[in-house]
Structures are given as C-alpha cells and as structure tokens.
C-alpha cells in the first residue's frame, strides 16, 4: 500500500506535520558573508523523484534538478547546468542536514519546512521606512487570562480632534506573530500599511504565547482566542483617535471564524471582513481540504478514495466529549490503518515505524484546538451578525475552498437590508490571496506577491462604502 502522511493540514501553514521529503524546503546559503535564500521543491512521482530549485534573491525559479535520489532518510540531488550537487540526511527534528557543492565551492546547508526561513526584505509590497504615518508599540491586557498581548498600532497623522475608524487584524491558525509571517511573507504588515495610508487606524497583535505576547498558546482553542480580541476591542475604545462607532474586525482563515464569533457577542462591531474564513462545519472543511491538497501533491484517485474512506471512519470519533476517550478510540482506528502500511515505505518517508506514525497523527488530531475546530459550526454565529459584512476567498484556495465556504456564508449571514453584505470569489488567488497557478501550498514561499492588489482594492472599496 502506497503511503501518504500526514492526514492533517493547517488552515494557514503550508507544511505537513510529518517528517517526509515531498514538499517545499527552505535554507539560507552563506556565500562569503552574503546570505542567499534557496528553496527546493521535491515530489515523489510514479516511484521516481522530481525536484526544482528556486533562488528568490536572484529571481530564479523552477530550475530543474537533473537527478533526485531518496534512500531512507538520505537525499541526494544534482543540477548539472549550475554544477550543483547536494547530499543531506533528514533528522528527527524535520531538518535536512547536508552539504552543498557548486564547483570548488562547498558549504554546510540545512533545509527546513518551518515558517519564516526566507528573508522578508525581498518582498516587494512591504512598506519602506520612514512611513508617512504614526507607528506605536502597544501592550493590551487580557483580564481573563491575566497576561499582556503585544502589538502595533498604525494610524494616520491627523488633527487630534479627528477620529478615524479602527481595523483589528486577527491571525489564522497556529502561533502567529503580528505580521502573520509565513514563508517569508508578512501579509498583515502589508495590509496594515495599505489601510493606514487610506485613513484607517490598524491594530495587529502577536498571538498569545507568541513572539512578544504573554500567555500560553498550547492548549488554547478558537474560543479562547476570542477573549484576546475582546481585550483588543476594549483597548482601542480607550484611544482618543479611534471612532468607536466604527470598529472593524478583519480575520484571515481561522481569524475570519474568530471575527464572526466575536462580532456575534459584541453588537457594537461595525463590520466584519472574512478573508478565506470557514463557513462550514470544521470536520467537513478539513476533509475537503485533505482531498484537495492530497490530489494537488500527486496522489492517485485510488489514494484519494482510501483517504476519504479512512476520514469517514475516523472523524466521528473526534466528536466525543472526552479527550481521553477520543485518544483511546482514535488510536484503535489508526493502529488498524497502520497495519496496512509497508514499514519500508514509512522509513523512506522519514518515519521510523508504525508506532511513530500513529503518534504523529494522534498528536495532530487529539488536542483541544483541533477537537474544538472540528466540532465548530459557523452557522450559529453567522446568523447572529447584524453588522456590515465582506467575505473574500480565492478561487484557487485549497485550504478553505472558496465555493463551499462562500455559499454557506452567503446563506447564513443576513445582516439586514440597511447593511452592506458582499461575497466575492477572487479569480486565480490562493489561500494567502496571492496570484497562483494551482493553489498548492508549495507555491506560497516562492511567490513574490504577498497579497494581491485586487484583493486589497476590494477591501478598501468595502471600507469606503460603509464609511460614508
């Protein structure tokens, strides 16, 4: 049986939770003191390996590898036209530790699948200092959790008597900093810049337990994160430059879901902007996401059917009310499935044995955040909203598929005739609102565009219409 790992994909992040070679890997090569980012894309296709190399700083993308060899945890590839060769070993910490050679040049080079390994200065949309607006570092107290959230406020330089609307940015899943940095991109930095230039104050924050914020991220659920946004709302209401009648929540991915949850509790929220936010039951979304990304990564129809069959048996277990019961029952299903997996294929994919594969999946699924997400249905909160509403998705979004989620949002969210509601599927954009070919998360890091200008324009048009 051909082996595919792992079953879980993040709502935001692009890397798998498994330690396998297929996918996108990032490294920084030190060439006589100059830092040169490199990206490799590896694919297992019909029992043979394919690969390409990107050098973003040199604006070189998709350079084909002449040979790619994977034996157990060992990776070897060559690029003849560049006289390049590489040899590395995949470690238990999901790092390929190896040696890069180009002609007589030789250097240690380690590839990672982790977020934030590409330099941010290459991104063409990021603001340049000095900015023509005020930037203020702030600390926001979460009274319920008894910790401080660290953030940045950007606001126009206006007369103190003039109050401006405030947009609170809400990050997607996983521990995110205030810029929502992913694969070298900082979309919230770009959005804050564009919104502030347009006359809005903007608050963006490090997630709890992340970067400079206090608190603990591990074990928190989407419901817990609503308390962080509630603290942010309380904070901005104290700022003398904020028009407290025009507070807008704008969330990306899981952040869109959280924006709905908060706005349903706080009727004074003026508008919600959902950027690739879920509109359907979490378990339904995750199963669809798995199918789309697995197919995009080269899985056969048979493999997709096997995954679908497994998911239908596995997900109902995750609705139990006790984590202990969930873990016990989930382990039984995973153990049974693991018996079908060839252990040689496991090792070739960087997983030591069947027990390790089971544990990886148990840790991915059986945790408070995942259980809450899988069982959360946005319908109830969407039906409570009475504020202006904008929902955007990209047509190439494989993580929060546009049609099924936008259709659900359009059906359930009906704020009233006096409110503006817009639902738009942005052609050719991926989950990060980048222009894309396939929407595969493997494309995120190499894309020079952080957030497509057409999507920014839709946001600004909406904000302008509700402002007047």
Q: Is the pLDDT at 356 greater than 60, yes or no?
A: yes
HEC string of the chain equals: CCCCCCCCCCCCCCCCCCCCCCEEEEEEEEECCEEEEEEEEEEEECCEEEEEEEEHHHCEEEEECCEEEEECCEEEEEEHHHCEEEEEEECCCCEEEEEEEECCEEEEEEEECCCCCCCHHHCCCCCCCCCCCEEEEEEEEECCCCEEEEEEEEECCCCCCCCEEEEEEECCCCCCCCCCCECCECHHHHHHHHHHHCCCEEEEECCCCCCCCCCCCCCCCHHHHHHHHHHHHHHHCCCCCEEEEEEEEEEECHHHHHHHHHHHHCCCCCEEEEECCCCCCHHHHHHHHHHHHHHHCCCCHHHHHHHHHHHHHHHHHHHCCCHHHHHHHHHHHHHHHHCCCCHHHHHHCCCCCHHHHHHHHHHHHCCHHHHHHHHCCCHHHHHHCCCEEEEEEECCCCCCCHHHHHHHHHHHCCCCCCCCEEEEEECCECCCCCECCCCCHHHCCCCCCCCCHHHHHHHHHHHHHHHC
Q: Is the pLDDT at 283 greater than 70, yes or no?
A: yes
Q: Is the pLDDT at 299 greater than 80, yes or no?
A: no
- Which pLDDT value is given to residue 93? 59
Mean pLDDT (the chain, rounded): 87
Q: Locate tokens 């999946």: which residue?
A: 361
For the chain, residues classed under CATH 3.40.50.1820 are 127-280+377-467
Q: What is the Cα–Cα distance from 236 to 244, expressed in whole angstroms? A: 8
Q: Is the pLDDT at 458 greater than 90, yes or no?
A: yes
- Which pLDDT value is given to residue 115? 43
**Picking from 79-83, 344-348, 427-431, which range would have the lowest pLDDT averaged per residue?**
344-348
Q: Is the pLDDT at 15 greater than 50, yes or no?
A: no
- Which pLDDT value is given to residue 348? 60
Nearest Cα neighbor of 182 from 451, 455, 445, 448 is 445
Q: Kindly report the pTM of this predicted structure.
A: 0.77
Say which CATH architecture domain 23-120 belongs to: Beta Barrel (2.40)
Cis check: omega of the bond before 6, within 30 degrees of 0: yes
pLDDT per position as a tens digit, 167-192? 999 999 888 899 998 877 899 999 99
Q: Is the pLDDT at 374 greater than 50, yes or no?
A: yes
- Please give the residue that has the higher pLDDT: either 254 or 96: 254
Which range in 84-98, 101-115, 133-147, 288-302 is most confidently predicted, on average pLDDT? 133-147
- Which pLDDT value is given to residue 90? 81
What's the pLDDT band for 307 if we cut at 50, 70, 90? confident
Say which CATH architecture domain 127-280+377-467 belongs to: 3-Layer(aba) Sandwich (3.40)
For the chain, residues classed under CATH 2.40.128.20 are 23-120
Token output for 393: 């998705």
Q: Is the pLDDT at 1 greater than 50, yes or no?
A: no
- Which pLDDT value is given to residue 105? 84
- Which pLDDT value is given to residue 18? 34
- Please give the angle made by the CA atoms of 267, 270 and 273, to the nearest 5 degrees: 110
Token output for 168: 């609170």
- Which pLDDT value is given to residue 468? 74
Q: Is the pLDDT at 351 greater than 70, yes or no?
A: no
- Which pLDDT value is given to residue 237? 97
95-102: strand order across its sheet = 60-64, 48-55, 34-45, 23-31, 105-112, 95-102, 84-90, 74-79, 67-71
Q: Is the pLDDT at 462 greater than 90, yes or no?
A: yes
Q: Is the pLDDT at 388 greater than 50, yes or no?
A: yes
Q: Is the pLDDT at 27 greater than 90, yes or no?
A: no
Q: Is the pLDDT at 13 greater than 50, yes or no?
A: no
- Which pLDDT value is given to residue 44? 76
- Which pLDDT value is given to residue 3? 39
What's the pLDDT band for 59 if we cut at 50, 70, 90? low
Q: Is the pLDDT at 440 greater than 90, yes or no?
A: no
């Amino acid at each position: 049986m051909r082996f595919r790992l792992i079953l879980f994909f993040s709502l935001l992040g692009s890397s798998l939770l498994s330690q396998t070679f297929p996918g996108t890997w990032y490294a920084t090569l030190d060439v006589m003191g100059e830092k040169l980012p490199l990206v490799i894309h590896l694919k297992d296709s019909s029992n043979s390996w394919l690969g390409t190399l990107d050098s973003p700083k040199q604006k070189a993308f998709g350079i084909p590898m002449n040979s790619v060899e994977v034996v157990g945890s060992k990776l070897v590839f060559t690029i003849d036209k560049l006289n390049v060769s590489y040899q590395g070993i995949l470690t238990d910490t999901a790092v390929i530790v190896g040696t890069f050679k180009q002609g007589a040049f030789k250097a240690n080079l380690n590839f990672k699948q982790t977020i934030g390994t590409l330099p941010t200065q290459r991104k063409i949309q990021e603001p340049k200092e000095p900015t023509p607006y005020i930037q203020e570092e702030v600390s926001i107290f979460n009274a319920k959790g008894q910790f401080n959230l660290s953030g940045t406020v950007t606001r126009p330089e206006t007369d103190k008597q003039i109050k401006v609307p405030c947009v609170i940015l809400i990050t997607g899943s996983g521990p995110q900093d205030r810029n929502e940095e992913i694969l070298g991109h900082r979309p919230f930095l770009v959005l804050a810049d564009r919104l502030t230039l347009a006359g809005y104050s903007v608050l963006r924050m490090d997630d709890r337990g992340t970067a400079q914020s206090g608190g603990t991220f591990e074990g928190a659920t989407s419901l817990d994160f609503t308390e962080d946004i509630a603290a942010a709302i309380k904070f901005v209401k104290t700022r003398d430059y904020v028009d407290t009648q025009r507070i807008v929540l704008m969330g990306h991915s899981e952040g869109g879901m959280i924006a709905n949850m908060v706005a349903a509790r706080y009727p004074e929220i003026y508008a919600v902007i959902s950027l690739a936010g879920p509109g359907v039951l979490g378990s339904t979304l995750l199963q669809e996401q798995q199918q789309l990304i697995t197919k995009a990564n080269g899985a056969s129809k048979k493999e997709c059917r096997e995954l679908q069959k497994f998911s239908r048996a596995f997900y109902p277990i995750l609705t139990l009310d006790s984590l202990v019961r969930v873990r016990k029952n989930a382990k039984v299903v995973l153990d049974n499935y693991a018996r079908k997996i060839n252990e040689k294929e496991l090792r070739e994919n960087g997983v030591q044995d069947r027990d390790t594969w089971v544990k990886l999946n148990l840790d991915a699924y059986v945790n408070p955040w995942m259980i809450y997400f899988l069982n959360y249905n946005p319908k109830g909160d969407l039906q409570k909203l009475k504020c202006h509403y904008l929902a955007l998705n990209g047509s190439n979004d494989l993580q929060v598929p546009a049609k099924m989620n936008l259709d659900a949002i359009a059906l359930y969210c009906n704020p009233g005739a006096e409110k503006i509601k817009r639902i738009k599927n942005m052609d050719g954009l991926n989950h990060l609102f980048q222009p894309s070919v396939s929407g595969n998360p493997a494309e995120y890091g190499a894309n020079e565009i952080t957030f497509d200008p057409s999507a920014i324009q839709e946001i600004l048009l909406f904000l302008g219409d509700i402002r007047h």
